[in-house]
Amino acid sequence: MKELNRFCFLSVLLVVLIGFLSASAQVDYATATLRGSVMDPQGAVIAGATVTVINPSTGITKTVKTDGDGAYRVPALPPGTYQITIDARGFAKEVARGIEVTVGQILVHDAHLKVGTANEIVEVSSDNVPLIQTEQTQQANTINSLQVTELPNIGHNITQAVYTLPGVANADAPRSQNPGFTGFFTTGFSIGGSNGRNNLSTIDGGENEYGTGQYRVTTVPQDTIQEYQVNRNAFAAEFGFTNGSAINIVTKSGGNRFHGTAYGYFQNHNTSATNFFNGIQSLPSAYSQSVYTGFTAGGPIAKDRLFFFFAYEYRRLDNPDFTNANVLTAPTVLGISAPGLAAGCSAGIAANQLCYLNALKASGNPFLVGFGNGITPGLSPLNNAPALRRAAERQQFRQFAPGVFAQR
């Protein structure tokens, strides 16, 4: 019995510690801050005013008092829509509804109280978020829930919408073209010319990359993402472990109302445009199929206290593989099966440059013919005997034997 009690105690303690660590991690990466000043009609600061911040959908409530300078600060607010109530002795109560805060934001809400009694309530509209956030040093953008769910995302990449932001480019293509390409996976994008391996990603405050930029978790359903912040540069030291960008993803949670979604996406070779390999050497279109189906559900267990939210997604991805299909060695792929090709050309991958250019010249396409004629003088010596003979004559290298530049 004692052993059972000890086991139960340790289990509860472990759960509490995990919850504490999660809450601590979210302070820097997955929350927002509300700050401002409280003043009277003449602009004088009001010290000791009570500021109450409430999230109506979850019941989260935080209360602070203004300091001697009339300033207040409410940190670690989960992203969402809030109601702010400000109360001070000798002044009417002010209520601001629909105040939306986003992940990583420092929102400023100043209040000018009117003289009156505590029974009077003055409702004000939510302030418009300024285009330039003067409270932050970094260049940052927020991808909201509407953008996550509505923008096209065929591959269900959790940060696909980042490509809609300024200064973002695909980082995989240049890497694969470099001779020293290692093949390590990355986030796939570059911001401001940085390397694709220099991006930090977090999900609800937890680090989500291996140190190379590659995501640890890539199968987060789109419908579970509430929003994410993309810090492009000049961000604070709290976003360590990166010299590229910092992306903070926040997932959805339950609330006082039941809510959920259901979705399904289907794509196969019959619904897609043809690709480079379809039809080569009379081969049929390669079979491919992508299926994504799932649902989310959330709601209250105890109103304003405890909630649930869960999601499920089924993925069926059937992608063709041409590695061992001998397709890449087909003459039509190598470009050496066009009419008029030099007799010495072979069907191997090591076919020389002149074979390719002869194929272009024999294609009958005016552009390709002109391109082939234009690039021929720049070929290596073994493939450009006439041009090299002329160069040798100009530089009076008469000692070369007539066949030294022959095609091999």
Q: How far apart are CA 226 and CA 100, in angstroms?
A: 13
The answer to whether 212 touches 184, Cβ cutoff 8 Å, is yes
Strand partners, 203: 206, 249
Alpha helices in 318-380 (DSSP H): 331-334, 353-361, 366-375
Q: What are the pLDDT tens digits along the chain (408 aa)?
A: 555 555 555 555 554 444 444 433 334 468 899 999 999 999 999 999 999 999 999 999 999 999 999 999 999 999 999 999 999 999 999 999 999 999 988 899 999 999 988 788 888 876 555 555 666 667 888 998 889 988 988 888 888 899 999 888 887 765 555 545 555 677 888 888 877 778 888 899 888 888 777 888 888 998 999 999 998 887 777 776 777 788 999 999 999 999 999 999 998 888 877 666 665 555 667 778 899 999 999 999 999 989 999 999 999 988 776 555 555 555 544 444 544 444 455 544 334 566 777 777 877 788 888 887 877 766 544 444 555 455 445 444 444 444 443 333
What is the residue whose two structure tokens read 């991805």? 317
User: Is residue 359 packed enough to be buried (19+ CB in 10 Å), middle (13-18) or exposed (0-12)?
Assistant: buried
Q: How far apart are CA 212 and CA 175, in angstroms?
A: 14
Decide the pairing of beta strands 199-203 and 206-207: antiparallel
Element (H, E) at 18: helix 2-29
pTM above 0.85, yes or no: no
Q: E strands along 78-184, which residues?
A: 80-87, 93-101, 106-108, 111-112, 121-124, 139-143, 168-170
Tokens of 98: 């629909």
